[in-house]
Amino acid sequence: MAPLLTVEGLRTTYTVGGREVTVVNGVDFQMERGKTFAIAGESGCGKTTLGLSIAQLLPSNARIRSGKIVFDGVDLLQMREDDFRRRIRWKKISMVFQGSMSAFNPVIRVGDQIVEAITHHETASKSAARERASKLFSAVGISENRLYSYPHELSGGMRERAMIAMALASSPDLVIADEPTTGLDVLVQAQIIGLLRKLRDDLGRSMILISHDLSVVAELADECAIMYAGRIVEMGSVRRIFGNPLHPYTMKLLGAFPGARLEKRITLVGIPGEPPSFLNPITGCRFNPRCEHAMEVCRREEPRLVEFERGHFVSCFWREETSGDNTR
Amino acid sequence: MLEVTGLKKHFPLERSFLDRLRGKKEAGSVHAVDNVSFWVRRGEILGLVGESGSGKTTTARLITLLERPDSGSVQFEGKDIYGLSPDDLKNFRRHVQLVFQNPYDSLDPKFTIFESLEEPLLTHSVGRTKDERREMVHQTMKKVGVPMEALNLYPSKLSGGQRQRIALARAFALEPKLLIADEPVSMLDSSIRASILNMLLDLRAQGATSVILITHDIATARHVCDRICVMYMGEVVEFAMADELVTNPLHPYTHALLSATPRLDPDARVTVELTGEIGSAADPPAACRLHPRCPHAYERCRVEEPVLREILPGHYVACHRSEEVFFPKLTGT
C-alpha cells in the first residue's frame, strides 16, 4: 500500500531579526496508514516546525524553501492555499496543539467551538454538528453536558480531551499531535495515552506524535524519528530504536532518561555541552561538539541518513565505520 | 536534622461579592497542607513527590519561612524555626537555601553572574575582602562546571541549563546544611536534566548538605533520592526508602502513580488505577482523601481518616487497607 505521507528534502526557514535561519534542514520520512509516527527531540530541534510545515500552519515569518510533502498522492506544497484550506485542513489533516488552554477561545463554550469548526469546514447543519460534538465528547470520555462549559471550567485533562475531540471532528486521515501530554499530571497523562492508543487500535487513526518525552514515545508510537538541530539523526521502529539505538545522540538521550527501569536504581548520565542554537549552526555533524566518538570527518562533513539495517536509518560516520570493522 | 510535625496551612478563600450580599460569613479555605509530618537526616536526599496541588511547594515555603503555618512545628537542629531569635534566624537563612523551578526568573537580570554569586557572601559576611570572595566564587563555578568567562555576563546570555547551574551554585556557595530544590529540572531538556541532578548528587557528596528535592516525577526521585515522601491533596500518604517505596508500594496512590509512569520500554504499558481526577483542595473528601477514586475503598475509608503508621520498619503508610491489599502480593500467596 502506498504510504499515507511522504516528506522529501523538506527545508523550512524562519526570518529572525533580518536573518534567515534554517530550522528544518532536509528532512525525509514516510509514514503508513493506521500507524503512529513519532517525531522526538529536545526543544529547538525543529520538531514542532516540521509538524506545522505538514499542517501548513507556519507563522508568517516562516517559509518552506524546498522539498515535497506528498499526502495521499498529492504534493501539498504544489496546492493553492485556499484549495488546501477547503479540501485538506481539518477534513484530512488536523492538529492537536501544545497547551490546550491557549488553543481554545476562552469566551466561547467548548461545544460551540467544536460546532463552529464542523460547520465552517463542512456543509452540516448546526443540530447535526451538535449531535456529532456530543458523540465525540463521549468517545473521548467527557460527559456531554461539558459541551456547555467554558474552557477555564475544564480541568487540564478534560481540555486536552476536548482538543482531541475537536481534532477528530471531521474524521481526518491524519492527526498531528504536538506534545499532547506535556504539562499534565502523570495520572491524567496515562489517561490521555490510553485514549490516543484507543484511537489507533480501535479506529485505525494515523497520527504524528511530536514529543520531547521518550517514555511517551515508547508508549504510543510504532515508528519514530529522532531529530537533532533540524535533521533526523535516527529513524526506525520504536523497538529497534529503544532496543538497539545506533546514533550516539539517541544512545546518550536514552541514558539520560529516568523512566527506564524503576525497579533498579540507575545512574543517569547527562550529555555534555549545550543543545545547539539555530543562530550559530555547526559545521559537519551537528552533534559533533557533544559526541564522544567524534572523528575528523564529523567536524568537516555532514553525514547522510542511510539505511543501516532493514528499516532502521541512522546518520553517523562513526556508526558506519565501526560497523564495517565488525562485519569484516 | 529537620523534623516536620503536624504541619498545617489553609489559605482562606475570598468571599465573592454575591456571597457578601447574601451575608455568607465564611468562604471556606484551600487545604494546601494538612497534618504533614516527615523528617530529613543529615546528608540525605529526600524526595517530596506529588501531583500539582498536592501541597509539596507549600510545604517547602513553610519550611523556609516564606509562609507561616496554621499549626504544627518545624524543628531545625533541635530548634523550632517559628520561634527563632533574630540572630538564630539569620543563621537559619544562611543554612537553609532554596532553588526554584524557573531558572529564567530566579537570577536578577541586572546582576552579572559574579554579582549574583557574590551577593549571598556579602549578605552573610562570608569572606572579608573582595579577593577572598572572588576566590570563593571561582571555587563554586568550578564545582558546578560553568566556564569562568560567564562571570562577567548577564543571565540573559546563558542557556537554561547554565542558569540553573548558577542558581544551584548560588545556593551552595554558603555551604548550607539544607537545600530545598523545587522542581529544579522540570523546565530543562532531558539531556541537561541528568547533569543537573548529578550535580546535586556531587555537591551533596562533597559536604554534609541534606537536600529536599521536590518533584512531580517519581522516576526522577527514584534515581536521585535516598528516601521518598509521597503527598496527595496536602497529606503525606507514604514515606519510605526509595528502593522500598518503588518496589513495594503500600499505598494505592503510590501504586497508581508508579503504574501510570511511562517507561522507556515499547512493550511496557501504563495503566490507570484510579478513577476520575484530583478534586478541589477547597473541598477535600472527608476521611481518606483518596477514597472517591480508590478501587480498594470501603466503608471505613469514608468515615475514618487513616493516620500515617509504620507498617514495616521505616516504611510509613496512611491507609486502612495496606496489609489486606498489598501483603498477599508480598508473600506471594
Q: What are phi and psi of B12, to 5 degrees?
A: -65, 145
Sheet of A36-40, strand order? A93-96, A174-178, A206-211, A36-40, A223-228, A231-237, A312-314, A306-309
C-beta atoms of A218 and B262 within 8 A: yes
Same structural domain for residues A302 and A207? Answer: yes
Residue A141 parent element (H or E): none
In chain A, residues with a C-beta closer than 8 Å to the C-beta of B269 are 219
| E-assigned strand segments in chain A | 5-16, 19-31, 36-40, 62-71, 74-75, 93-96, 174-178, 206-211, 223-228, 231-237, 306-309, 312-314
Is the same domain home to A63 and A159?
Answer: no
- Distance of alpha carbon A300 from alpha carbon A220, whole angstroms: 37
Contact between chains at A274 and B198 (C-beta distance less than 8 A): no
Q: How many CB atoms sit inside 10 A of residue B151's CB? A: 19
Q: What is the pLDDT of residue A328?
A: 38
Q: Residue A239 burial by CB count (10 A; 0-12/13-18/19+): exposed, middle or buried?
A: middle
Please report which helix (H) or strand (E) contains residue A42, including its range.
Answer: none
**Three-state secondary structure call for residue A323:** helix
Helical axes A126-139 vs A156-167, angle rounded to 10°: 130
Find the length of chain B.
Answer: 333
Same domain (yes/no): A64, A115: no
Return d(Cα B61, Cα A141) in angstroms, integer. 37
CATH numbers and ranges of domains, chain B: 2-331 (3.40.50.300)
- What residues of chain A lie within 8 A of the CB of B213, using their CB? none
* Average model confidence (pLDDT) across chain A: 90
pLDDT of residue A325: 53
Q: Could A190 and B271 be called an inter-chain contact, meaning their C-beta atoms sit closer than 8 Å?
A: yes
- Whether A183 has its CB under 8 Å from any CB of chain B: the answer is no
Considering only CB atoms, which chain B residues are within 8 Å of A216? Answer: 262
Q: Which of residues 235-274 of A touch B (CB under 8 A)?
A: 238-239, 242-243, 252-263, 265-272, 274
What does the pLDDT read at residue A124? 84
pLDDT score of A149 more than 70: yes
For residues A248 and A319, give the distance between their C-alpha atoms in angstroms, rounded to a whole number.
Answer: 8
Q: Return d(Cα B215, Cα B51) in angstroms, integer.
A: 8
- Where is the domain boundary, A146, A171, A196? A171
Round to whole Å and give the CA distance between B300 and B287: 9
Nearest CA in chain A to B279: A155
> What pLDDT is stored for residue A109 in this prediction?
93
Last residue of a domain, one of A171, A206, A223: A171
Residues in B closer than 8 angstroms to A157, CB to CB, are 277
Say whether pLDDT at A249 is over 90. yes
Averaged pLDDT, A244-265: 87
B107 touches chain A (CB under 8 A): no
**ipTM of this complex prediction, to 2 decimal places:** 0.87
Amino acid B286: pLDDT: 87
For A218, the closest of B195, B265, B271 (CB atoms) is B265
- B51 at interface of A, judged by CB pairs closer than 8 A: yes
Q: What was the pLDDT predicted at B328?
A: 65
Angle, alpha carbons A198-A31-A48 (nearest 5°):
80
User: Is the Cβ pair A272, B268 closer than 8 Å?
Assistant: no
A327: pLDDT strictly greater than 50: no
Give B85-131 as a DSSP string: -HHHHHHHHHHEEEE-S-TTTSS-TTS-HHHHHHHHHHHTT-SSSHH
State how far the Cα of A174 lies from the Cα of A170, in Å rounded to an integer: 11
Vertex B116: Cα angle to B111 and B121 (nearest 5): 140
The candidate with the shortest Cα–Cα distance to B37, out of B294, B272, B188, B235, is B235
A-B CB pairs within 8 A amount to: 143
What is the extent of the structural domain holding A293? 5-92+172-327
Residues of B in contact with A212 (CB under 8 A): 189-190
Nearest CB to B223: which of A266, A271, A275? A266
Residues of chain B with pLDDT under 70: 25-27, 328-333
By Cβ distance, the residue of B189, B194, B266 closest to A242 is B266
Tell whether A40 and A144 lie within a shared domain. Answer: no
- Contacts of residue A37, defined as CB under 8 A and 6 or more positions apart, other chains included, come to A29, A31, A206, A207, A208, A209, A221, A222, A223, A224, A225
**Looking at the complex, does the CB of residue B266 fall below 8 Å from at least one CB of chain A?**
yes
Please give the pLDDT value at position A100: 63
B134-177: per-residue pLDDT in tens? 998 888 888 777 888 888 889 888 888 888 888 888 888 888 89
- What integer pLDDT is reported at residue A8 of this predicted model? 95
Mean pLDDT of A260-285: 82
Q: Do A271 and A150 share a domain, yes or no?
A: no
Q: A176 and A271: one domain? A: yes
The CATH number for A82's domain is: 3.40.50.300
Looking at the structure of chain A, the number of domains it has is: 2
Find cell 487513526 and name the residue. A205
- Which of A309, A289, A307, A306 is closest to A298 using CA atoms? A289
Distance from CA of A317 to the nearest CA of B (A): 22
Task: Tell me the per-residue pLDDT of A105-124, one tens digit each, with 9 for 90 and over.
Answer: 889 999 999 998 888 888 88
- Please report which helix (H) or strand (E) contains residue A277, including its range: none
A316 φ/ψ angles, rounded to the nearest 5 degrees: -160, 125
Question: pLDDT (tens digit, 9 = 90+) per residue, A193-206?
Answer: 999 998 888 888 89
Per-residue model confidence (pLDDT) at position B178: 93
Same-domain pairing of A218 and A310: yes
Please answer yes or no on whether B266 and A243 come within 8 Å at the CB atom. Answer: yes
Q: What is the rounded average pLDDT of the residues A94-113? A: 85
A178 in the same domain as A42:
yes
Annotate A243-265 with b (16+ C-beta within 10 A) or e (fewer).
Answer: eebbbbbbbbbbbbbbbbebeee
pLDDT of residue A227: 96
- A47 and A108 in a single domain? The answer is no
Which of B191, B256, B263 has the CB atom closest to A270's CB atom? B191
Residue window 186-225, chain B: list those with CB within 8 Å of chain A: 189-198, 216-220, 222-224
Mark whether A69 and A195 lie in a shared domain. yes
Q: Identify the residue with better confidence: A169 or A318.
A: A318
Question: CA B144 to CA B199: how far, in whole Å?
Answer: 7
Residue A107 phi/psi, 5-degree rounding, is -105, 10
Per-residue pLDDT tens over the stretch A308-319: 999 999 999 999
Between A227 and A266, whose confidence is greater? A227
**If you measure CA to CA, which chain A residue comes closest to B193?**
A270
- Residues of chain B in contact with residue A229, where contact means CB-CB under 8 angstroms, are none
Residues of A in contact with B263 (CB under 8 A): 215, 218, 259-262
Residue whose cell numbers read 536578577: B108
Q: pLDDT at position B330, please?
A: 54
Residue B190 to residue A253, Cβ atoms within 8 A: yes
Name the residue of chain A whose CA is nearest to B270's CA: A190
What pLDDT sits at residue A294?
Answer: 94
Amino acid at B292: P
**A193/B191 touch (CB, cutoff 8 Å), yes or no:** no
Compare CB distances from B262 to A158, A188, A215 and report the shortest one's residue: A215
Residue B232 corresponds to which cell in the numbers above?
Answer: 496527595
User: So what's the pLDDT on residue A17?
Assistant: 85
Would an 8 Å CB–CB cutoff place A43 in contact with chain B? yes
A310 touching B, CB under 8 A? no
Of A153, A171, A189, the one marking the end of a domain is A171
Please indicate whether, in this complex, the C-beta atoms of A256 and B191 are within 8 angstroms of each other: yes
Residues A113 and A18 in one domain: no
For residue B82, the distance in angstroms to the closest alpha carbon of chain A comes to 33
- B247/A contact by beta carbon, under 8 A: yes
> Can you spell out the DSSP letters for A169-180?
TT--SEEEEEST
B247: nearest CA partner in chain A: A263
Q: Tell me the residues of chain B between 311 and 330 that have a Cβ less than 8 Å away from chain A.
A: none
> For residue A123, how far is the Cα from the chain centroid?
30
> Do residue A26 and residue A107 come from a single domain?
no
Please tell me the predicted confidence (pLDDT) of residue B186: 82
Of B189, B222, B272, the CB nearest to A187: B272
Residues A302 and A284: their CA atoms lie apart, in Å, by 4
Q: Is A228 on the interface with B (CB under 8 A)?
A: no
Nearest residue, CB atoms, B265 vs list A185, A194, A242? A242
Distance CA(A159)–CA(A163), nearest Å, equals 6
